[in-house]
Structure 1
Amino acid sequence: MFIKDKIFKEIVWRILGREKVGELKYALNFVISTLKRVFLKRKKINLYQSCKITVYKSKKKYGQIFFGYHDLNPINRRRNKILAHELPFSTNSKNNGKEVSVGYFDLGSPSEYIEFGKTNAWSWQMGARLRWLDESRVIYNSIVNGKYGSVIYDVDLKSNSESIEVALYDISVCGKKGLSLDFSRLQTYRPGYGYSCDIIENNLLNGGVYSYCFESKALKEIISLERLSKFECDFPPNDLQYINHLKFNKDGDRFCFFHISVCSMSGKRFTRLITSDFYGEKLFTLINKGTPSHFCWISNTELLVTVSNNGSVGYYKYIDLNRKYDKIEFHYGNLDGHPMYSQEDGIFVSDTYPNSLREQVLYSIDDKNYSVLKKCSFYTPYKFKGEVRCDLHPRIDSGLVVVDCATNNKRELITVEWL
């Protein structure tokens, strides 16, 4: 039966063309999910507990608001401002590399977006790596002297304070160390995560991991792809390799990242989660079985990771430099998501990808007994898929959860405060 189905699919693809088949599948799924939602009387936002929802949106006709990836916190330490990007155009992969705005809202004033800069160095999933450096200074990736770089803006002084000729992926909590990679290479092999501006980067064309010191302004390649290809493995020389998801631990003395190899023959991806110190030494392969997809640091030595193994997804706690792990069993624990941990609240939040009703679930988990404490769901229209999908990417700050959402057919930033 499997062989017959495969032959039938191949015949249909050859007659109609793969693109046409994709369009028909898209239309059919749209009709089915719409009928399901009407029959079940589903709302765009479904709340299962009492909570306060605030929607931060653009005043422009086609304007969209979003923040980016789940590993950064858009709320400042004073807890009175929330960072965001504003897109002056509709969702379309052809808009990659077009200029977008960076700015903020005063927390609690969802209709008053305040712009402080513009950038072409952004992506649908990661944004411009916009983040707070301290109570008043913000840093984001941009074009500096014709190359990918970073701009530091002081919200209190209302002026740019510094420009750096290197685009940064992550920055230590102390604000003295940075990590970078080849954003063009990343976009080529993982569309939606890197940048697609037609420029040459700052000596990052080897595709490895780079360190940056804010005090000395020194940029240095600390881990090359050639070295990684021979580290505890032996990848074929024709395989494509790239780095993604660099992230410091709490103290900034170690960081982790994904090393991905793509088979040149089959296109199959092999992903490893590796940790290192800031100097590119003491490399340690934390996960080399299964496919790690998302993670967050819980402490200086412990990580929470989602891993897919033989089609089954699970949440695991790993110890750095050890490989010991514990699997977390809970409802939604078999669905991939973007976990973020809050030591202050003793919980972690995560999300799901759209189900058959095109609903993404946001939930919080007690870190002691792993029970689901709170949850709500958001409808996501079908056009938000692939490179331009809108994942919730939840971040938590003192009980306030921030998500990106496309419930109203365009990107908006939503805060959820469970009461």
Structure 2
Amino acid sequence: MVKVVLAFFLGLATIVMGQNNVTGNQSTSVPPDSYISDYDIVKLTAGPKQHWFGYYDKLQLDPTGRYVLVAQVDTIHRSPTENDGLVIGMIDLHDNNKWIPLGESHAWGWQQGCMLQWIPNSKEEIIWNDLEDGKFVSHILNVFTKEKRTLPKAVYTLSNDGSFALGTEFNRIQKLRPGYGYAGVPDPFENNRHPDEIGLYKMDLKTGRSELLISIDEMAGQEHQGESLSGYWHWFNHILISPDDQRFIFLHRWRKEKENGTNKATSGFITRMITADLDGGNRYILDPSGYTSHFIWKNPNEVCMWTKPLGKDSGFYSFTDRTDSIVPVGAGIMTANGHNTYVNGTSGEWILNDTYPQGEDRLQELYLYHVPTKKKVSLGKFHEPLKYKSEVRCDLHPRNSRDGNFVFFDSTHGGDGRQLYMVDISQIIK
């Protein structure tokens, strides 16, 4: 049955959604001023506590599709500090959306959470970042036996075989891009524009042994379109390993200056996308434009990203690694920056994406794009209240189930803060 819930300015009624045990309620209602959709939008969590997952390129569901990872925090509307604890848990979709707490974190941000995710190739283990004894660490937990072990460094992304992680220093990110790093550990190199001692590291998930692959100073020493970068403040961000575990992407970013008398960088940042082998070698500047934004690997050789290539308009483009091949994706249809992924099991034919709030009504669109037919299917438009902006905004960050049949997303449209939602797309992609 098609359900349509229109925004309050259209004056239509509330629809009551599925069941939820996060706060003990057997049903939750969605306000009439919340969203527009032709599909059943199922609400999985409810207030007063906030629930969300975070970024769009992590495994949120276990291999069976039964357990959905989610983070829970008290209602705050500011930058988190090291004193703000985050509860790690999962929802059992086969048991009335039962909430199962699993652990805690004191190293998290609103956009990417604490890097909570299922470890690839594991049916039982998850990983997340935390703050312990003045250091950022990561925990691996067996969600059934509750056996836990701690690794000496935080993780950013995991290999597809689940054997290792790549990471960078989250205190450096927090200093230069607040909201994407963690509070609680000062950056010992905060007065160094491009330190040689830190950068991008690789860590074995069994032993915890790590090695520095690429230092910040190395990349700062490489000119950008003929310009020296020595006077800028540099950091790394957004790391993602290729599907065949042979190469990885990272974003090298820099800012122009700092605020007078402080260590806070204030200028807009510039970005270039770098790919490299897993030992840090064979580096290639895949997007030298300075505008790289969200991206995803389509396959081991192609990357789809939002950017403004040299001499071209802003948009989504498919880049072929270690070549100058650039092909537009969704031209004239996917016209706004969003968090793009390929729907699992569709051989790259379907793209899942979202938008930032648009128009006076601040509607975030969730949609699918069929690459062969250039067809767009809107899954819904969701109102984000004005107070959710800047660092505390709630992007939809859509994630796909491993079988491709369901989409999970975070949203504030329900009237009780950021919560987790689900929509069935199986009939669309088939």
TM range (shorter): 0.7 to 0.9
Code of the aligned partner of 1:384: Y
Code of the aligned partner of 2:43: V
Percent identity between matched residues is 27
CA distance in 2, matches of 1:257, 1:361: 27
CA distance in 2, matches of 1:372, 1:383: 30
Code of the aligned partner of 1:137: E
Unpaired stretches in structure 1, ≥5 consecutive residues: 1-35
Tell me whether 1:191 sits opposite 2:178 in the alignment: yes
Instruction: Indicate the residue corresponding to 1:401 in structure 2.
Output: 407
Note if contact 1:97-1:196 (Cα within 8 Å) is conserved in structure 2: no
Tell me whether 1:105 sits opposite 2:91 in the alignment: yes
CA distance in 1, matches of 2:275, 2:222: 12
Q: Say if 1:67 and 1:194 are closer, same or farther in 2 by CA, change over 3 A.
A: same
CA distance in 2, matches of 1:38, 1:107: 30
CA distance in 2, matches of 1:66, 1:89: 12
The alpha-carbon deviation at position 147 of structure 1 amounts to: 1.1
> 1:199-241: per-residue Cα shift (whole Å, max 9, x none)?
679xx99441111123453211111111101235353322111
> 1:352-393: per-residue Cα shift (whole Å, max 9, x none)?
100121110000011222210342111111111000100000
CA distance in 2, matches of 1:131, 1:374: 27
CA distance in 2, matches of 1:191, 1:53: 32
The alpha-carbon deviation at position 150 of structure 1 amounts to: 0.6
1:241-390 equivalence runs, <5 A = 241-264=234-257, 267-308=267-308, 312-330=313-331, 332-345=333-346, 346-356=349-359, 357-390=361-394
Q: Of Structure 1 and Structure 2, which has the larger fraction of its residues in helix?
A: 1
CA distance in 1, matches of 2:162, 2:274: 23
CA distance in 1, matches of 2:338, 2:180: 17
Q: Say if 1:157 and 1:94 are closer, same or farther in 2 by CA, change over 3 A.
A: closer
The alpha-carbon deviation at position 125 of structure 1 amounts to: 0.3
TM-score by length of 2: 0.82
CA distance in 2, matches of 1:396, 1:178: 21
Code of the aligned partner of 2:421: I
Instruction: Indicate the residue corresponding to 1:81 in structure 2.
Output: 67
> Which stretch of the first structure deviates more once superposed, 348-357 or 259-268?
259-268
Number of equivalenced pairs: 378
RMSD, aligned CA: 2.5
1:45-124 equivalence runs, <5 A = 45-48=35-38, 51-58=39-46, 61=48, 63-93=49-79, 98-107=84-93, 112-124=98-110
Note if contact 2:330-2:371 (Cα within 8 Å) is conserved in structure 1: no
CA distance in 2, matches of 1:358, 1:98: 29
> 1:1-60: per-residue Cα shift (whole Å, max 9, x none)?
xxxxxxxxxxxxxxxxxxxxxxxxxxxxxxxxxxx9654448412113xx332212245x
Code of the aligned partner of 2:319: Y
- Correspondence for 1:417 among 410, 424, 428: 424
Unpaired stretches in structure 2, ≥5 consecutive residues: 1-5, 13-32, 189-194, 259-265
The alpha-carbon deviation at position 158 of structure 1 amounts to: 2.5
CA distance in 1, matches of 2:143, 2:229: 49
Note if contact 1:402-1:416 (Cα within 8 Å) is conserved in structure 2: yes
Q: Say if 1:290 and 1:145 are closer, same or farther in 2 by CA, change over 3 A.
A: closer
Note if contact 1:313-1:333 (Cα within 8 Å) is conserved in structure 2: no
- Correspondence for 1:159 among 127, 147, 167: 147
TM-score by length of 1: 0.84
Code of the aligned partner of 1:57: T
> Which stretch of the first structure deviates more once superposed, 312-321 or 167-176?
312-321
CA distance in 2, matches of 1:109, 1:45: 27
Code of the aligned partner of 1:222: L
